[in-house]
Amino acid sequence: MFAHLFATMNDKLDEIMRLYPRTTGERREHLDKQLDVLKAMSDSIVEHWLLFEEKMADFYASTKASQAHADPASSVPLASHVPGGSAQQSGDSPAVKGEQSACVQQQEQSTASAMKASQDGGGFLYDFSEDTAFLISKGQGYFKLHMFGHASCELGKAIELSPDCQLARLFMAMTLMHMQQWNDAEKHFQILISLTEHAKWRAIGYNALGCIQAVHMNLELAEQYFWKAHQVDPSFTDSMMNLKCCKERNGQLSLRFGSAELIR
């Protein structure tokens, strides 16, 4: 699993490194944002690994202590894993303990970020697990890198764990929009609208449904969805721009899915 993830991240980084010297302006800013996402994903993986190592070390320590209590003669110093394949005694220095504590705090902030996003979007209706939050975080990272195939894979796993998770549904539906899998995207947006009471997310959902109908040239129904999105949240401007585009019908439709709202 991790070999595939790092291979994908390396491929993306190679692409950025190849393009970076020849880009300027908005294109350079776009590459900078992708670099920030890659760095955040790398940091998150390292944090999870450190927490896992610490948990494993604590388990070994408690197991050894139990054995020593049962048979004092069997007590020996316990070595814990550290990066680089070396070992150290279980009595870590204050500096090491402080670094581990900082990593724990960073990880708590990282896993809480997806949960906070759900809470900000009315996600109090469903308290999803840290495993789900981690999968959503990975999916969001891929989404922001425009690696939509990988994003859909991680978000699909999150939905399997937490079918009522609104945040996972939102990003999954928008990911499928970018992949032009209109029917599957429509299903997820319909579910999202039925679940959420958050005005912005409902507006994004109705707007996306309007885009899907416009793609199928059902323009009257599309206009109804765009107007409904505006009624739900007048501050969401994409719906009115799409409504205007449908009414004018000058050549090819240029529609806004609303995905810009997810990467700010």
Give the start-end residues of each E strand in the chain: 79-81, 87-89
Range of the domain at 261: 197-264
Are 135 and 82 contained in the same domain? Answer: yes
Same domain, 13 and 143: yes
Q: Is residue 149 part of a domain?
A: yes
pLDDT at 264: 58
Q: Is residue 49 part of a domain?
A: yes
**Residue whose entry in the numeric block shows the structure tokens 């350079």:** 28
Is 189 inside a domain boundary? no
CB 239 within 8 A of CB 203: yes
Per residue of the chain (264 residues), give pLDDT as tens: 566 667 777 888 888 888 888 888 888 888 888 888 888 777 777 776 667 777 777 777 777 666 665 555 444 343 333 333 333 333 444 443 444 444 444 444 444 444 444 444 444 334 577 888 889 988 988 888 888 999 999 999 999 999 999 999 999 999 999 999 999 999 999 999 999 999 999 999 999 999 999 999 999 999 999 999 999 999 999 999 999 888 887 667 788 888 877 765
For the stretch 224-237, pLDDT in tens is 999 999 999 999 99
Helix (H, G, I), strand (E, B) or coil at 197: coil
Residue 7 domain-assigned? yes
The answer to whether residue 184 is domain-embedded is: no
Identify whether residues 40 and 82 lie together within a single domain.
yes
Number of structural domains (the chain) is: 2
Q: Burial-class residue 225 by CB neighbours within 10 Å (0-12, 13-18, 19+).
A: buried
147 and 218: one domain?
no
